[in-house]
Amino acid sequence: MIRGLKTVKILLDEQQLNEGVEKLAHSINQSYGSRPLTIIGIMTGSVILLADLVRKLDMPMRVGVLQTTSYHGTQRGPLTIDADMMLDVTQRDVLLIDDIFDTGHTLTAVVEKVRQLGPKSIQSAVLLRKTGQQQVAGQPDFIAFDIPDEFVVGYGLDYNDEYRNLSYIACLEPEDLAVSDQGS
């Protein structure tokens, strides 16, 4: 039992995640071939996916990160993007990696920000897409799983910065949120 969680509803277990990331990597390998890539992980939610995915890719690559923040608990706050730590992307083929595509506002804003830096191309890959939640025109180029509209944690995704280390993806139930909010 995970600390603080009353019930654990596993949506994707370790094996399913591994297979999904394998397929994602296969599609990316097919698409880019041996073209060198600049991979940018959107922190912090993509940290586990980034580590697993890059080890399944075949092309020469540089790996960097940028930081976004929009959630506080399950409440959405203002979106901030901090690209100070990011690699130079000018004239590079860039692949952005994020954990989840929900409304789509985060990835859309990051694509716009990176586009202003003059890359040769930009594509994006996400682990999860929430069905029917999108409020933007674009979609990620590579998607491992479509999931129902539930708040999920694990495999990099957090609730108040906890649960990122779970090796599976679980839904946080309302009673779990109440427990976690008490900090138990």
Asked if residue 151 lies in contact with residue 178, where contact means CB atoms within 8 angstroms, the answer is no
* Active-site option among 52, 93, 98, 102: 102
Kindly report the number of other CB atoms within 10 A of residue 112's CB atom: 11
Asked if residue 120 lies in contact with residue 91, where contact means CB atoms within 8 angstroms, the answer is yes
The residue assigned the tokens 């999904």 is 20
Assess 119 for contact with Mg ion (CB under 5 A): no
Chain residue whose CB lies nearest Mg ion: 45
Assess 154 for contact with Mg ion (CB under 5 A): no
Q: CA geometry: angle at 131 spanning 43 and 66, to 5°?
A: 10
What's the rounded Cα separation, in Å, for the pair 77 and 93?
31
State yes or no: is 102 an active-site residue: yes
Q: Residue 103 touches which of ligand 5GP, Mg ion, none (CB < 5 to 8 A by kind)?
A: ligand 5GP
Assess 45 for contact with Mg ion (CB under 5 A): yes
Query: Which positions lie near ligand 5GP, rule CB under 6 A?
Result: 45, 70-71, 98-106, 151-153, 157-159
Q: Residue 151 touches which of ligand 5GP, Mg ion, none (CB < 5 to 8 A by kind)?
A: ligand 5GP
Catalytic residues: 102
Q: Which residues bind Mg ion (CB under 5 A)?
A: 45
